[in-house]
Structure 1
Amino acid sequence: MNSAQMAAFTFLTLCCLLWPGVLLKSIQISDQTNSLVKGTANVKTEKHYPLLGHTSDFDYYVFTQQWPVSNCLTASSYDDCQIPANVSGWLIHGLWPSNFDGSYPAYCDDDYDFNDKEIEPIWGQLAKYWTNLYMDSAVDSFWEHEWDKHGTCAYTAHDMSSEFDYFNTTLGFHFDYPVGQWLLDAGISPDNSAIQNTSVINKVISDKVGKQTIFQCDYDQYKKEHIVNQIEICMDRNFKPIDCEESIENCNSDGKVLYPATVYHKNCDKTRENIKE
């Protein structure tokens, strides 16, 4: 093993040993400032509802924010999920055209390819609040996926004027609905041991929005606990909040949920395999 390989092995070993002690203190969201540019003309799995194909006809939007710690805790072992240092709270997952019957349009305009140049003025905002957590994929691959699948439908429906408009508008909703700060204000903060109540969390968010929102859980196989996953806010075609049909999804029937603060387990075996003697 040469000196470069030895240094890499030492770094990765320390990563595996020290990871459980890395507390994401900055995750207690308090620094979000609305400094969006004014508009001109490895992805976590989303819900699997029937697609409508190349059509822009839909009823409403779903604006979804995700808790990054839970995202990494439930990532598959082959996914290199990592929370960047510049991330300080809840992240945008997407803005999705949807229908009341559970279907949704997707991939509505194959001719409007994702273009990094269009969103260059807000790249820094996207990197911080709409982050790709999977280090084995390009930093803009998440944005490309969301644009191709969902943004093109909003565009062809004439609700958005461009790719830039889609991303900039969605960024604005992230500041309009600061779910992490709302939870902190209600005395609900990330904690690796404190058990929260799903109904209480959902009520806090719904009361702030003024309409019924959806609180989603995921399941952590390591701790055998349901954990906070996503918050969905439903909006009409004019981007005004409306009641979502559901309220709590994929959670335990007893209402217990963990709001984790730390990525307290991490599979480093895959990375170590890449270091050869």
Structure 2
Amino acid sequence: MSLKSIWILPIAALLATSTAPQPATGQAWQCKAPANLSRPVPEIAKPNEVRRTPVAGYMLALSWSREQCRGRERDPEMAIQCNGNIGDFGFVLHGLWPEAAGPDYPQWCRKASVLSRKIVADNICMTPSVQLLQHEWAKHGTCMARKPETYFGAAKLLFQALTFPDMNRLSRQGEKDGLVTAKVLADAFADNNDGLPANAIRVQTNRKGWLEEVRICLDRKFKPEACPAFAKGAPEKAQIKIWRGG
């Protein structure tokens, strides 16, 4: 299934219903949910953090796991993602976020239930952190869906539809000639995904120029669209470095 073909699926209608399909996990070929997953702890927003601004679009945020895990392979809080026991991750889903017409995106719209172990297990290979799954549901998902199954089902459909560029090649190319820029990476994503324009992509780096995230801007029908001016990202000409791990 391609990203373009996903548009014909009723994702917007799916978010209005109480259930969602459960596609295979994002990296099922190398990842299997552990049997002893814990349940997350509740996350409750402070009153001044609640924002119920109208939804004008969405953003799909993809974290580059190799950079997240660098030096944290033995960090207990990052164990599932970084110790290699359930998989060697490349891109993982940070989250599917509702966006507003300006920078004040909606968040913490309703009190969030604690995710069941089944929901965690169904999505841990896409977002390999028990507590991050809870956080994304509480902060973002409650502004989009009535039930977490629906929210994560929509996120998984979008995540599964992506074809990722050869990050190993891009990493080595950057080391060789130093010519891998934010635009080069955005173009690589666009070239690998029919109908995804490069201007719908924002690249996030840390202060030292290492890739941290790729974010895709979507309209209200979940179709990629040019990112608004307030969407932050590295300048097109900014050189980026991609950590391969090891």
TM-score over 0.5 for the pair: yes
Question: What SS does structure 2 have at the residue aligned with 1:70?
Answer: helix
- Counterpart in the other structure of 1:10: none
- Counterpart in the other structure of 2:113: 113
Which whole-Å CA distance do the structure 1 matches of 2:226 and 2:30 have between them?
26
- Counterpart in the other structure of 1:188: 170
Residue 214 of structure 2, aligned match among 226, 231, 241: 231
Deviations 1:165-193 (A, max 9, x none): 11121112111123xx32459x4246894
- Counterpart in the other structure of 2:58: 61
Change in Cα spacing, 1:231 to 1:254, as seen in structure 2 (3 Å) is closer
Change in Cα spacing, 1:32 to 1:199, as seen in structure 2 (3 Å) is farther
Aligned 8 A contact 1:56 1:108 in 2: no
- Counterpart in the other structure of 1:215: 203
Which whole-Å CA distance do the structure 2 matches of 1:243 and 1:192 have between them?
26
- Counterpart in the other structure of 1:169: 154
TM-fit CA distance, 1:73: 3.6
Question: Could you list the runs of 5+ residues in structure 1 that have no partner in the other structure?
Answer: 1-28, 34-50, 133-139, 156-160, 220-224, 264-277
Residue 68 of structure 2, aligned match among 66, 71, 80: 71
Question: What SS does structure 2 have at the residue aligned with 1:107?
Answer: coil
Change in Cα spacing, 1:189 to 1:248, as seen in structure 2 (3 Å) is farther
Change in Cα spacing, 1:84 to 1:174, as seen in structure 2 (3 Å) is farther
Which whole-Å CA distance do the structure 2 matches of 1:191 and 1:211 have between them?
20
TM-fit CA distance, 1:255: 2.3
**How well do the aligned residues superpose, as a CA RMSD in angstroms?**
3.5
Structure whose CA Rg is larger: 1
- Counterpart in the other structure of 2:142: 152
Which whole-Å CA distance do the structure 1 matches of 2:241 and 2:51 have between them?
39
Change in Cα spacing, 1:31 to 1:129, as seen in structure 2 (3 Å) is same
Name the % identity: 19
Aligned 8 A contact 2:202 2:234 in 1: no
Change in Cα spacing, 1:235 to 1:52, as seen in structure 2 (3 Å) is farther
Moved more, 193-202 or 232-241: 193-202
Which whole-Å CA distance do the structure 2 matches of 1:190 and 1:170 have between them?
31
Aligned 8 A contact 1:70 1:227 in 2: yes
Aligned 8 A contact 1:189 1:259 in 2: yes
Structure 1 residue runs of 4+, over 6 Å off? none
Which whole-Å CA distance do the structure 2 matches of 1:183 and 1:245 have between them?
27
Which whole-Å CA distance do the structure 2 matches of 1:149 and 1:113 have between them?
12
TM-fit CA distance, 1:245: 2.1
